[in-house]
Amino acid sequence: MATLKLNEIEITASRKIFDACDLNGDGFIDQEEFHALLNVLDGDVSRAECQLDFEIADTAGDGFIEFIGAPGRS
Ligand SMILES: [Ca+2]
């Protein structure tokens, strides 16, 4: 069960990162928040680069990045 415990720790860590990126606290990362995140991580990131990465991360294609395992927007 060590693997399960590790996953729980990883999920908790990921959740903290996600919450830190979710600037307005609505439970989703929108393109503005994502662009701000990329600028922190990589420095100068263009809007075009941000758009490409966002589309990959936006698995639902709804314009928001949601935390994996979180309930969907209603
Ligand atoms: Ca947000």
| CA–CA dist 14, 12 (Å, integer) | 5
- Flag whether pLDDT at 44 surpasses 60: yes
Environment of ion ligand 1 (residues, CB < 5 A): 22, 24, 26
Q: At 12, list the tokens.
A: 């908790």
The CA 2 to ligand 1 mean position distance, Å, reads: 33
9, pLDDT greater than 70: yes
Closest CA to 26 of 68, 65, 69: 65
Residue 66, classed as helix, strand or coil, is strand
Expressed in angstroms and rounded, the spacing between residue 69 Cα and the centre of ligand 1 is: 17
pLDDT value at residue 53: 92
What is the Å distance from ligand 1's center to 19 Cα? 9
How far apart are the C-alpha atoms of 13 and 18, rounded to whole Å?
9
Residue 30 has pLDDT above 60, yes or no: yes
pTM score of the predicted model: 0.71
The fold of the 2-66 domain, in CATH, is: Recoverin; domain 1 (1.10.238)
